[in-house]
């Protein structure tokens, strides 16, 4: 049934629906891991620190849960299950890991769905955010890289994680001394997921030519990314809370400055430092370390920098 639905969508995409492919590709893009992380980081730095903290915590947890579910179920992508499925070529680059559940759907549920379930936001904003979740999830079906089960479970699990995250943050705010306990439990759980992904056995199915259909070790890479991001958030969260305590109650000019410097510095780390790390550290260690650094920078190091530099008064102008 799920493959039949994808075949119907594929026929439509290749015919009258070709004009929608570009739109669906763009919807998928705003649900990608790095896109979502950058958007949340900008909210955290420039718009609303508390809302950003909620999104960062929920998204980090979502990535670990998604990684755990993927390496547990080990469901092949649709085109591997059925050769009649020919996914959109542009969508293949972001179609990493096993198929179930959809990572894009969980990302969408974390960022846009995380806002849609917050009652303090306006009704129409929540409706709009909910519609974005639906469009991102459906785009994965339309482009042929996920089945309906993948996106339904992904979106559902993502929204559940965000609801639980909201409850957890409310509890921590009422019991501030328990934050280290929460962080330690979260780190232990993330490390356990990484160990599970590393030691478990994966399906070893071959095609008629004797070639391995899917390399399970490579499929677990997204799981290790989630572990690095989660640990980076939890450690950065505790350190920021105790030693930085930056605020987003700032003038518009300062917001723009943070946005600009934050984006430039984040891309410098991602495009320069991360490739160097991957050349120095082999395999899984590079994946976990690079994602840890990305999230630790977002959560702690950049807030530390802006807290320090924004405290420095402007130099007086020279008298002529």
* Residue 75: CB atoms within 10 Å: 20
- Model confidence pLDDT, tens digit, residues 247-257: 999 999 999 99
- Model confidence pLDDT, tens digit, residues 68-127: 999 999 999 998 888 899 998 888 887 888 999 999 999 999 999 999 999 889 999 999
Residue 314 in this model has a pLDDT that exceeds 80:
no
Query: Looking up tokens 């190091």, which residue turns up?
Result: 301
Residue 18 in this model has a pLDDT that exceeds 80:
no
Averaged pLDDT score across all residues of the chain: 91
| Token duo for residue 158 | 């993502």
Domain layout of the chain by residue ranges: 2-309
Residue 178 in this model has a pLDDT that exceeds 90:
yes
* pTM score above 0.85: yes
Residue 146 in this model has a pLDDT that exceeds 90:
yes
CB-based burial of residue 104 (10 Å sphere; 0-12 exposed, 13-18 middle, 19+ buried)? buried
Dihedral sign for Cα 134, 139, 141, 145, please. negative
**What's the average model confidence in pLDDT over 147-159?**
96
- Model confidence pLDDT, tens digit, residues 257-274: 999 999 999 999 999 998
Q: Would you say 7 and 84 are in contact if contact means Cβ atoms under 8 Å apart?
A: yes
**244-251 CB contacts, 8 Å cutoff, 24+ apart:** 244/300, 244/303, 244/304, 244/307, 245/307, 246/49, 246/303, 246/306, 246/307, 247/49, 248/44, 248/45, 248/46, 248/47, 248/48, 248/49, 248/52, 250/310
Residue 58 in this model has a pLDDT that exceeds 80:
yes
pLDDT (0 to 100) of residue 95:
80
């Amino acid at each position: 049934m799920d493959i039949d639905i994808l075949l119907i969508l594929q026929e439509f995409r290749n015919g009258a629906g070709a004009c929608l492919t570009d739109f669906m590709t763009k919807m998928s893009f705003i649900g990608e891991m790095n896109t979502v992380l950058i958007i949340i980081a900008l909210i955290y730095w420039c718009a609303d620190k508390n809302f950003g903290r909620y999104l960062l915590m929920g998204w980090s947890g979502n990535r670990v849960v998604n990684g755990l579910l993927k390496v547990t179920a080990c469901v092949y992508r649709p085109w591997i299950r059925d050769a009649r499925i020919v996914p959109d070529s542009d969508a293949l680059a972001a179609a990493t890991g096993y198929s179930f559940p959809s990572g894009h759907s969980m990302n969408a549920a974390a960022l846009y769905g995380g806002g849609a379930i917050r009652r303090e936001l306006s009704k129409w904003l929540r409706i709009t955010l909910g519609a974005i979740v639906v469009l991102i999830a459906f785009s994965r079906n339309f482009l042929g890289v996920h089945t309906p089960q993948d996106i339904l479970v992904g979106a559902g699990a993502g929204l559940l994680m965000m609801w639980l995250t909201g409850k957890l943050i409310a509890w921590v705010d009422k019991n501030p001394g328990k934050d280290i306990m929460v962080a330690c439990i979260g780190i232990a759980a993330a490390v356990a997921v990484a160990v599970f992904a590393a030691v478990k056995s994966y399906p070893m199915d071959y095609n008629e030519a004797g070639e391995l259909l899917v390399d399970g070790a490579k499929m677990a890479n997204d799981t290790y990314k989630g572990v690095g991001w989660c640990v980076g958030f939890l450690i950065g969260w505790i350190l920021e809370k105790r030693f930085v305590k930056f605020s987003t109650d700032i003038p518009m000019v300062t917001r723009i400055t943070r946005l600009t410097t934050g984006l430039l510095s984040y891309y410098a780390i991602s495009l320069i430092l991360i490739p160097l790390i991957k050349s120095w550290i082999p395999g899984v260690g590079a994946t976990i370390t690079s994602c840890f650094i990305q999230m630790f920078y977002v959560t702690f190091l950049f807030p530390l920098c802006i807290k320090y530099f924004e405290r420095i008064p402007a130099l007086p102008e020279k008298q002529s």
